[in-house]
Structure 1
Amino acid sequence: MRIIVCENYQSLSKKAAQIIGSQMILKPNSVLGLATGSTPIGMYKNLIKMYEEGLIDFSKITTFNLDEYYNLPAENNQSYHYFMYDNLFNHININKENVHIPNGMAQDIDNECLHYDKMIDNSSGIDIQVLGIGNNAHIGFNEPTINFNKGTHVVTLDESTRKANARFFSSLEEVPTKAITMGTGSIFKSKKILLLASGKNKAEAIYNTVHGKVTPEVPSSILQFHQDVILILDKEAASLLSKDDYEVVQEVSKVK
């Protein structure tokens, strides 16, 4: 597990975009696993800038998103479908047929989960999966539980997760109680994993990810067993780690 600590959120976002951009340049038909939430927004802004300046090309890229709220229409401005188009897809030259987001409105939700995993397998797997992390160490919407879920599945959201996401809604009551998410097994199949974390409220989850016992009660701890994981953190998210745990990025060069 490689851990990179950046000065602040802006530096973190640039570093993450550079890693994704390098992957795209080395393999123009890369399969990217993407995440939502506030943390990756800065990375997406940097990727859009890199695209606009001709440094990267999305025309052959395929994407799979981690999750989507259950029973929330795609056109709802709080859906992750809406989020991804608003923050990335509407601003780049990606082929929309190569964009995949779980369908939380599917009539047969169990079949949708199986179909989603099959599509990932048929794409030859995810080259690099971007993750955020919840205050309770959830990745995707894999909440603390008694076992690791292998495949894409429907999950009941923890109250802490709903409260954390309530800032995006008019009230807590509007936050969905369920979501469809890639399982930890689906995530673990990715060739490379890039986890982003910003803020002191993520410090305990990060510490447990790196040094804690591997347990489904700390879903992100499973990453200790993955062969290629990079954590990109700001100083606050890394505040409980020892300086021996990580390398420091003082300044990330500006995108030309």
Structure 2
Amino acid sequence: MEIVILPDAAEVGRVAASVIADVVARKPDGVIGLATGSSPLAIYEELSRRADAGELNFSRTRGFALDEYVGLPFDHPESYHAVIDRTVTRPLGLDPALVSVPDGLADDIPAACAAYEAAIAAAGGIDVQILGIGANGHIGFNEPTSSLSSRTRIKTLTPKTRADNARFFDSAEAVPTHCVTQGLGTILDAKRLVLVAQGSGKAEAVAAAVEGPLSASCPASVLQLHEHATVIVDEAAASRLHNADYYRYTWANKPEWQKY
């Protein structure tokens, strides 16, 4: 696992965007795993800037969202169908037909989950998966005690996650209680993982994921099993890391041929 500690959130977004841009430049028809929430927004803003400048072309790139609320209409502004369209698909110039989001309105949720897994496999798998991390260590909506080998499925959101997401809704009660999420096993299948975190509120979760034991109690710790996972954080989110000086040293001395 590579840990990159940067001065601020803007730099986190820029460096993470460079990882995604490198994948797209090498494979224009590649597949990106798309996360929602506040953490990856700086990535999408930087990628949009590069697309507008003609540095990148996303017209052939496929996208698969990590998750979706159950029971929220697709046209609800906080459904991830709407959020992905608003923050990723349109700004980056992706073809909407090539962007998929789990179906939280399906009559048969297990069948819809199986179909989503099949669609990812049919696309050749995810080349680079963007991830954020919840304060309780969740990635996607894989809450603590999620199976480390889990696949796309329905999950019950914890009260903590619902409270954290209440800022996007009129009230905490308006946040759905369930979601459909890619599983931890699904996430591990991606060829490259890029997790970003900003702010002191994520410091404990980042430390548990990076330096704690591999445990379902911190779902993000599953990144320790991946052969090519990069964790990019600002100083505040890195404040609980015991080996922070070593991570800064390895980044400062990374061979030029090895970047990104």
Task: Place the TM-score, normalised by the shorter chain, in its bin.
Answer: over 0.9
Kindly provide the amino acid, as one letter, of the partner of residue 20 in structure 1.
Answer: I
Name the SS for the 1:32 alignment partner: strand
Name the SS for the 2:71 alignment partner: coil
Cα offset, 1:240, TM superposition:
1.1
Kindly provide the amino acid, as one letter, of the partner of residue 208 in structure 1.
Answer: A
Between the aligned residues of both structures, percent identity stands at 39
Q: Distance in 2 between matches of 1:243 and 1:103?
A: 40
TM-score with structure 1 setting the length: 0.95
TM-score with structure 2 setting the length: 0.93
Q: Which runs of 5+ in 1 are unaligned?
A: 251-256
2:26 equivalent to 1:26: yes
Name the residue aligned to 1:154: 154
Deviates more, 1:22-31 or 1:83-92: 83-92
Deviates more, 1:141-150 or 1:155-164: 141-150
Q: Which runs of 5+ in 2 are unaligned?
A: 253-260
Equivalenced residue count is 250
Q: How does 1:1-256 map to 2 (within 5 A)?
A: 1-145=1-145, 147-241=147-241, 242-247=243-248
Q: Distance in 2 between matches of 1:134 and 1:198?
A: 11
User: Compared with structure 1, are the counterparts of its residues 216 and 245 closer, same or farther at alpha carbon in structure 2 (3 Å cutoff)?
Assistant: farther
Q: Deviations over 1:101-150 (max 9, x none)?
A: 00111111110000000001111110000000000000000000163352
Does the CA-based 8 Å contact 2:149-2:184 persist in structure 1?
Answer: yes
Root mean square deviation, CA, Å: 1.3
Q: Deviations over 1:161-215 (max 9, x none)?
A: 0000001111111000000000000000000000000010111111111111111
Q: Distance in 2 between matches of 1:111 and 1:89?
A: 26
Cα offset, 1:32, TM superposition:
0.3
Name the SS for the 2:160 alignment partner: helix
Runs of 4+ in 1 over 3 A off after TM superposition: none
Q: Distance in 1 between matches of 2:235 and 2:84?
A: 27
Q: Deviations over 1:78-115 (max 9, x none)?
A: 11111111112122332211101001111111100000
Q: Deviations over 1:201-237 (max 9, x none)?
A: 1111111111111111110111111100000000000
